Amino acid sequence: MQMESSRRPIQGSRYFVTPGRPGNRRILVWGLLITLVSAALFTLHPTLLQPLDFKIYDLLLRHFPDNSVGTRPVIVDIDEKSLRRYGQWPWPRYLVAGLFDKITAMAPAVIGLDIIFAEPERPPASRLLKGSEYGAPPDPAVDRPAGALCDNDRILAEALARGPFVLGNKFHFDRPDKESVPCVLHPIKVSLVQPAAAQKANTGIPESTGVLCNLAVFSQKVGSSGFFNFSPDPDGMLRRLPLLIQHNGNVYASLALATVLKLENTDTLFLKKTGSTLESLNYQGVSVPVDRHGQLLIKFRGPGRGYDYISAADILDGRVSSERLQGRITFVGTSADGLKDLRTTPFDPIFPGVEIHATVADNLLTGDFIAVPGWANALTLLLVVFLGVLLSLFVAFGAAASGFIGMLIFTAGTWVATQQVFFRMGLFAGPAFPMASVVCTYIFLTVLKYRLEEKRILSGMQELLLTQDITIESLASLAEYRDPETGGHIKRTRRYVKLLAEHLKQHDKYKHFFNDETIDLLYKSAPLHDIGKVGIRDHILLKPSRLSGKEFEVMKTHTIIGRDVIESAVYKLGKKSFLTLAAEMAYSHQEKWDGTGYPQGLKGEAIPISGRLMAIADVYDALISKRVYKRPAPHTMAVNIIKKNRGTHFDPDMVDAFLDIHEKFRDIARKFADSPEEFRGLTQDTPTEDSTQE
């Protein structure tokens, strides 16, 4: 039995670990609750932190490795130089026709026009006949008889018919189409690839209510056209472009897509859906990832003007060799500030619209895409739950550092995983919500753990302080235990000391010494003032008559014994504490103001303040208390004796303070009286026999 019990863990030992402490379980429960709330919040509002995801996406895109521009797209730019050379836009149609003819002569593979010719040209006759007004000399390609120049729209239409042009148009969604003359548009053929049960489902492609299109005389001369609508995100940044729009039951391609389809000599697309959500569009073996509205995330290559730009003025002036355009995909548009075709992108706040079409065409030609997969939200939800549960376990059952390290690992791991998937696979799943969820969960649980630990420590401190007080009283009672008639002495004297100290706190002379902390230490120290009496023999300590001179000398040693006992404890603690004041009080409480006290015979202010306080408290209590050698004195007699000894036994200032509050001393003495006889003596002021000897 002895051996078995020796192996049993001891409660309270530092080697004993209690698994599943109530505080830990509470932290775990709160962590799981926060995780569930975060998961529900994401389910109900998955775009809550979308602005932060946008910033992360932009940052990753700007640092995408090997993200170089393609060589096939080229831009013919109606730039500031062209406007200075040939006048403000719009140019006369014969001049535009001349530009298009010269571009066609350079044999590009396809030409996309980021321009709309929506109205007939009606210039003054003088402008029709005076080409020099536009700063351009007569050109053989556009130098026609005056009769022919009166129909510049026909001249431009003939120029369009001679080249592989793709016209541009723009759909609108905020007003009905009230065009009196129908537009000639070029729809594409679309086939849905989806489960048979969902054949009648909506494609999800936006439906427009109207369109701004080219004149029919132009549209009839070309075989294809595309829209150049943009779709900025809520923060005003352009990150995606719609590839398809529906109008009057037909589907139309964007300018970039229409240009690439013309290059590939096809007008047929296959739309793939997963369930009811559009996932990709496919042509000629190319699969293009799109969102549920048919929008493509644009993989921008860098700041504006990254592609090959050729000034329209240089082409009109014949300064460009045909090799610059031969076999390439050419987009005609403008980068001039005054024409307001500039957009904000992750790379550049001023990005030419025509270059956006060139970038999308580049993405389509190279098959280099960025996609938000359909399972991105499910993955985010899984991360929120998994990381939340794991972090809750770390914080609840791990050390303080483990929770912090876990939070750092989870957030850094989510960031690194997002970055690698983005760079290596071109997939983006917004990490903002799981990262924010982890950080918020950690902060909340850490604060909760801190509060619980603080409460536990405060509870432990209160218990420790209570234990300390009980220990002090128990030690002090050792001196009083041998005299059963003085049980309340400890309780009374400590309260006398505190009461007198709080009153002296208002005195200018003592306010530097008495503060709340010092008063509390004096309160704790007071019970130990007579601890040295444990070393006095019973025949002296309990003698019912006056002590002899030799016996009194022995009795006086209780101050030295008390100091030595307490100072040994202070030495073992290795630091100052309330015991320092206790030792001082035990050693000096029998000193007298006139220097006739013991053990050192200190005089006046050489006596420690704590000793002077204790002297009044101790003498008052000795006077009003019953002893083996005397009866209790009335309160009035005790007050008069202390008053009489002002300036001899006691500090005059402290006696004055005592006289101000002596009735409160009486109240304390009544409350903690040891016997009915003592209580009666405090109630009536009739004198008894002399009670002045301690």
- Of the pLDDT bands very low, low, confident and very high (cuts 50, 70, 90), residue 53 is very high
Residue whose entry in the numeric block shows the structure tokens 């090959």: 308
The pLDDT of residue 471: 65
The pLDDT of residue 419: 96
109-162 tens-digit pLDDT = 999 999 999 999 875 444 444 443 334 444 444 444 444 444 899 999 999 999
Among the listed residues 229, 251, 253, 252, the one whose alpha carbon sits nearest the alpha carbon of residue 241? 229
605-642 tens-digit pLDDT = 999 999 999 999 999 998 988 876 778 889 999 999 99
The pLDDT of residue 542: 77
SS3 676: helix
Mean of the pLDDT values across residues 430-440? 95
3-state secondary structure 338-365: HHCCEECCCCCCCEEHHHHHHHHHHHHH
DSSP string of 408-461?
HHHHHHHHHHHHHHHHHH-B----HHHHHHHHHHHHHHHHHHHHHHHHHHHHHH
Residue 547 has pLDDT above 50, yes or no: yes
Angle at 68 between CA 62 and CA 74, to 5 degrees: 120
Percentage, residues of the chain above pLDDT 90: 60
Q: What size, in residues, is the chain?
A: 694
The pLDDT of residue 170: 94
Residue 34 has pLDDT above 90, yes or no: yes
Residue 386 has pLDDT above 90, yes or no: yes
Mean pLDDT is highest, among 53-62, 167-176, 684-693, for 53-62
Percentage, residues of the chain above pLDDT 70: 84
- Count CB atoms within 10 A of the CB of residue 672: 18
* Helix 516-525 with 489-504: angle, nearest 10 deg: 160
208-254 tens-digit pLDDT = 999 999 999 999 999 999 999 999 999 999 999 999 999 999 999 99
- Of the pLDDT bands very low, low, confident and very high (cuts 50, 70, 90), residue 673 is confident
341-353 tens-digit pLDDT = 899 999 999 999 9
Mean of the pLDDT values across residues 87-95? 93
The pLDDT of residue 439: 95
561-596 tens-digit pLDDT = 888 888 887 777 666 666 788 889 989 999 999 999
Average pLDDT score over the chain: 85
What is the DSSP code (8-state) at residue 332? E
- Contact assessment for residue 79 and residue 335, using Cβ atoms and an 8 Å cutoff: yes
Residue 398 has pLDDT above 50, yes or no: yes
- Of the pLDDT bands very low, low, confident and very high (cuts 50, 70, 90), residue 483 is low
What are 427's strand-pairing partners? 371
Higher pLDDT, 18 or 383: 383
Range of weakest confidence among 372-386, 400-414, 478-492, 602-616: 478-492
- Of the pLDDT bands very low, low, confident and very high (cuts 50, 70, 90), residue 452 is confident
- Of the pLDDT bands very low, low, confident and very high (cuts 50, 70, 90), residue 481 is low
Distance CA 102, CA 43 (A): 57
Distance CA 489, CA 281 (A): 96
DSSP string of 31-80?
HHHHHHHHHHHHHH-TTTTHHHHHHHHHHHHHT-TT-PPPSSEEEEE--H
Mean pLDDT is highest, among 185-194, 454-463, 530-539, for 185-194
Q: Take residue 437 and report the two structure tokens written for it.
A: 């969820």
Mean of the pLDDT values across residues 17-32? 74
Range of weakest confidence among 5-9, 313-317, 452-456, 629-633: 5-9
Residue 16 has pLDDT above 50, yes or no: no
Residue 543 has pLDDT above 90, yes or no: no
Residue 540 has pLDDT above 90, yes or no: no
The pLDDT of residue 131: 44
Mean of the pLDDT values across residues 328-337? 94
Mean of the pLDDT values across residues 8-21? 40
